[in-house]
Amino acid sequence: MNIIENNLKFKTLTKRESTDGIFVHHRVGDGDVESIHQQHLKQGWSGIGYHFYVRKNGEIHRGRPEWAIGAHVSGHNYHTIGICAEGNFETDQMSDVQKNAISDLIAYLKTKYSIKFVKKHSDVSKTACPGKNYPFDEIVGNVKSNVEIKPLPNINGKLEIVREGQKLANRFVGEDIPDIAEDGLRGPDTMKLGIEVLQHAMNLDYHVGIAVDGYFEAKSKAAFGHHYVQYGETQYMVSALEILLKLKGYDCKFECPGVFWNDLKKVFAQYQHNYQLTEDCVAGYCSFMSLIH
């Protein structure tokens, strides 16, 4: 499965505190992700309201950043992720390739969050969405327990950087955490280890004593609090930042503890730009959440 990143520019976004559900929608029309983004901006929203947009050809596009509160289902945006399918399923029939892509995306999200439900928009709102022909049972029935994540297209050619990140991450977290394969692929193991890197660095810098378990939930969030690292600082959190950037295919040097100087600043600024973060060169909660997802 691939998620295609898009350089959409958003207005204000707010981080979502919990994620326990997924809602599916249809677009009631065709077109690319940029066209919905523009449509939602014109409605006065911060940008596309859905987190993912699955096209008829099976391409999965990122919409609103995954960590942000979406705008797709009234009353439930604060705890759910929205997936929109291209098409009008009041009249269209969905192709197998689009069905499978949505199933894979749901499987992937289930590996990342404690998802308790997957629902149709119409289950909670007075709407026809996602349309009477939307093959909901089939899509949910085909969700596999494990989905292989292929490297993102924009990480292609960066296997060596991700591999270097995996090597450093294996070393950084210490011997109590089992090593993962240093294969250069950003799959579920790599993402989990990335969270462990962050948890370990928080323990070293903030003495918070949290579990290094690869699940960034309530205790980790509370321990993170309003901490951040910025230019000029020397911390283990800077080392974590360097490793997490490498795990996303961004090359920078590594030191332990890390020093936040010009070379890191340049790479991190590029990352913040590409991932629609505030380009302030301050690595706070939103930046780290983006890096571990």
Instruction: Note the residues at the interface with Zn ion (CB under 5 A).
Output: 25, 121, 129
Cα–Cα distance for residue pair 235/206, rounded to 1 Å: 10
d(CA 83, CA 71): 11
Smallest distance, Zn ion to C-beta of residue 76, A: 11
Query: Shortest distance, CB of residue 121 to Zn ion, whole angstroms?
Result: 3
CB of 129: closest distance to Zn ion in angstroms?
A: 3
By beta-carbon proximity to Zn ion, the closer residue of 129 and 240 is 129
287-to-48, 91, 230, 245, 277 alpha-carbon distances in Å: 20, 41, 12, 10, 7
Helix (H) or strand (E) holding 203: helix 188-206
Closest to Zn ion by CB, 56 or 219: 56
Strands 282-283 and 229-230: antiparallel
Do residues 66 and 53 touch, judged by C-beta distance below 8 A?
no
Cβ proximity to Zn ion: between 19 and 190 the closer is 19
Question: Least distance in Å: CB of 58 to Zn ion?
Answer: 20
Q: Which lies closer to Zn ion via its Cβ, residue 25 or residue 62? A: 25
Instruction: Work out how close the CB of 135 gets to Zn ion at its nearest, in angstroms, rounded to a whole number.
Output: 16
Q: Are 234 and 276 in contact (CB under 8 A)?
A: no
Residue among 129 and 241 whose Cβ is closer to Zn ion: 129
Nearer to Zn ion, 79 or 219 (CB): 79
Closest CB to Zn ion among 122 and 166? 122
Please, which residues bridge with residue 117 across strands? 21
Q: How far is the CB of 41 from Zn ion (least distance, A)?
A: 18
The CA-atom distances, in angstroms, between 189 and each of 6, 112, 178, 223, 225 are: 24, 11, 11, 23, 25
Closest distance between Zn ion and the C-beta of residue 63, in Å? Answer: 13
Question: Angle at CA 55, nearest 5°, toward 52 and 59?
Answer: 80
Beta strands (DSSP E) in 137-191 are none
Residue type, 156: N
Tokens 């929608």 found at: 25
Cα–Cα distance, 120 to 86 (Å, whole number): 15
